[in-house]
Amino acid sequence: MRKIYLLLILLITTTVSFGQEILINGDFESWDDVNTPTAFTHIESTEQESSEVHSGTYSAKVTGGTSDLGQTITGITPGINYTVSLWYKVEEGTGDGSDARIWSYWRSEGSNLTDNADELRGPNNSYFDTNGNVWTEYSVTVTAPATADEFYFEVRTYSGAVVYWDDFSFFQEAEGSPSLSITSPTNGASVVGPDVDVELSILNFEVGATDAGLDGHIHYSLDAGGTVMVYDTDPIALTGLADGEHTVDVWLVDNTHTPLDPPVEASVTFTVTSITEVADLATLRASAEGGIYEVTGEVIVSFVTGNNRNQIFIQDATAGMLIDDNAGTITTAYMDGDGITGLTGQLGSYADMLQFVPTEDPGAATSSANSISPQMVTLTDLENNLDMYESELVMINGVTFADGDGTTTFSSNTNYDISDSTSSAFVFRTNYPNDNLEGELIPNTPVNIMTLAGEFNGTPQVYPTGADYLLSVNEINSLSTLSMYPNPVLGNQVTIQTQGNGTISVSVFDVLGKNVLNKEISNNTLNVSSLKSGIYLVRISQNGFNTTKKLVVK
């Protein structure tokens, strides 16, 4: 018996010494049911497949849309090498060539890390090659960052494609070797200059003076210039950088200034950009993509999405915008209705939708409990003038859901066809966790909906912000046929008519968002003699409901 124990101990020791597989059920041989592979923590549009497999009895068949399949792996050891591998096959005749990719990342205390992004989002941070619709392997070895404690292994299947997945592996290699990575700025980033700190992550290598008896130190160069020697792991402080592209090369050397063999090196290329101040979101939306901007006016949080990219919709009196914060730069927890002042970031776009990537945390909310009145539009308005409404709250009356049969409920991350009296085909997408629509009954009668306007690759969409905003047609009838005339106005009076009988409250804002007039009217007449010539937003409230109209004063 003692010999058996000894052999068992040796076996365990050998397994740990020479590496081990730490992803569970990567071969998909175990299933809780036909749609649930055992141990996977995020499962969408997945089926057990027995005919099309890479090895074994089963694979996972995933139908795109976007559809995710993932598993969270705990117990990560910083500095250790891990090999990520998988096999995939795209079903012939499906998809458009951008059908599948890996979408994994390291985590630290629940927050996503940006390390190894190019490898963990697919080859060169892109989609897998369809590769003739045959089984294909993707494999890469990466080093766990200094702060990593989890790894999220995920693959994605995109709309129109059917992808078979099999033989996932996340293998912990036997030993840690010296590693070097640049954690900030990231490759291709635009950063605010002229001073930039280059932050490093160094594992399994002790840095110090040449006579300190440690492993060695650091050499770096800026824009292929002279070599600079560094004897600590503090951020490398670069000062006085001109606007434009810069490259920093960093490598580890021993105490004789000789590079390690094999080389341990890292490089980052980034663009230094000065901050441009803009007064409001309309000005931001009209600015050049790629620039760094500070919005000097206050913006209001219209919807905190709750997704893993920390996306937040914001709005002011002029326009709306989507904040995309995948790096977790904003650590302040904002709520719907909070005001943010001094928001700084880079303007860009994804799938044709403008977005703002923050470069710093703007800090505590500058106001709270603000309300945003949606603009009343039709689906045709959105189709014809999407840029005017993108990322803004809008109200659409008399909407019919094609899938509303009295029994079907909403699913997450799903497109639904809707129509109104002006358009017969439009996309309503349950896109964000905080819309809380999963499991809610799809309306089987016309409803008025308050949603966010958006798009995906040029196709207009609307995104719900909660089940409370799917309202029966009788709930908002007092403002549904509101009229305001004359517009433009040449005199001192504007007529505002609704179907309701209650007092009408009117607030008027200039293009900078300043409240310039507040009135309660009961005779349908608003006196605007105090307003100068210009464009104004008029917020109208009656019986608990709100709408916003533009008014031109000449």
Task: Verify that 491 and 440 share a domain, yes or no.
Answer: no
Residue 273 Cα distances to 237, 243, 277, 285, 304, angstroms? 17, 5, 13, 18, 29
Residue type for 290, please? Answer: G
Identify whether 13 is part of a domain: no
Q: Which range marks the domain in which residue 332 is found? A: 275-358
243 burial type by CB count under 10 A (0-12 exposed, 13-18 middle, 19+ buried): exposed
Which three-class secondary structure state does DSSP give residue 311?
A: coil
CB neighbours of 233 closer than 8 A, spacing ≥ 6? 200, 202, 207, 218
pLDDT value of position 188: 86
Task: Verify that 384 and 446 share a domain, yes or no.
Answer: yes
Task: Verify that 53 and 168 share a domain, yes or no.
Answer: yes
Identify whether 116 is part of a domain: yes
Domain total of the chain: 5
Task: Verify that 198 and 249 share a domain, yes or no.
Answer: yes
- 492: which 2 tokens? 């001192």
Residue type for 458, please? Answer: G
Identify whether 310 is part of a domain: yes
Q: Work out the pLDDT band at 499, boundaries 50, 70, 90.
A: low
What b/e string do you get for 216-237 counting C-beta neighbours within 10 Å, with b at 16 or more? Answer: bbbbbeeeeeeeeeeeebeebe
Answer with the one of 144, 172, 200 that is the final residue of a domain.
Answer: 172
Task: Verify that 260 and 351 share a domain, yes or no.
Answer: no
Identify whether 40 is part of a domain: yes
Identify whether 11 is part of a domain: no
Q: Work out the pLDDT band at 8, boundaries 50, 70, 90.
A: very low
Identify whether 335 is part of a domain: yes
Identify whether 4 is part of a domain: no
Answer with the one of 217, 245, 270 that is the final residue of a domain.
Answer: 270
pLDDT value of position 176: 67
Model pLDDT for residues 387-400, shown as the tens digit of each residue: 999 999 998 989 99
* Structural contact between residues 551 and 489, judged by C-beta atoms closer than 8 angstroms: yes
What is the rounded distance in angstroms from the CA atom of residue 501 to the CA atom of residue 288? 47
Task: Verify that 266 and 282 share a domain, yes or no.
Answer: no
CATH number reported for the structural domain that contains residue 33 in this entry: 2.60.120.260
Task: Verify that 28 and 166 share a domain, yes or no.
Answer: yes
CATH number reported for the structural domain that contains residue 185 in this entry: 2.60.40.10
Torsion of CA 52, 58, 62, 67, to 10 degrees: -150
- 288: which 2 tokens? 């050049």
Task: Verify that 89 and 228 share a domain, yes or no.
Answer: no
Q: Work out the pLDDT band at 345, boundaries 50, 70, 90.
A: very high
What is the rounded distance in angstroms from the CA atom of residue 533 to the CA atom of residue 489? 9
Identify whether 158 is part of a domain: yes
Beta strands in 262-364 (DSSP E): 265-273, 275-278, 292-295, 299-304, 312-315, 320-323, 339-340, 343-350, 353-358
Q: Work out the pLDDT band at 14, boundaries 50, 70, 90.
A: very low
Task: Verify that 469 and 505 share a domain, yes or no.
Answer: no
CATH number reported for the structural domain that contains residue 418 in this entry: 2.40.50
Element (H, E) at 485: strand 483-485
Helices within 329-429 (DSSP H only): 379-384, 386-389
Element (H, E) at 5: helix 2-17
What is the rounded distance in angstroms from the CA atom of residue 70 to the CA atom of residue 170? 12
DSSP 390: T
Task: Verify that 431 and 318 share a domain, yes or no.
Answer: no
Task: Verify that 152 and 48 share a domain, yes or no.
Answer: yes
Answer with the one of 172, 192, 222 that is the final residue of a domain.
Answer: 172
Model pLDDT for residues 509-546, shown as the tens digit of each residue: 887 778 899 999 888 899 999 999 888 888 888 766 66
Task: Verify that 407 and 283 share a domain, yes or no.
Answer: no
What is the rounded distance in angstroms from the CA atom of residue 23 to the CA atom of residue 37? 13
Residue 18 has pLDDT above 70, yes or no: no
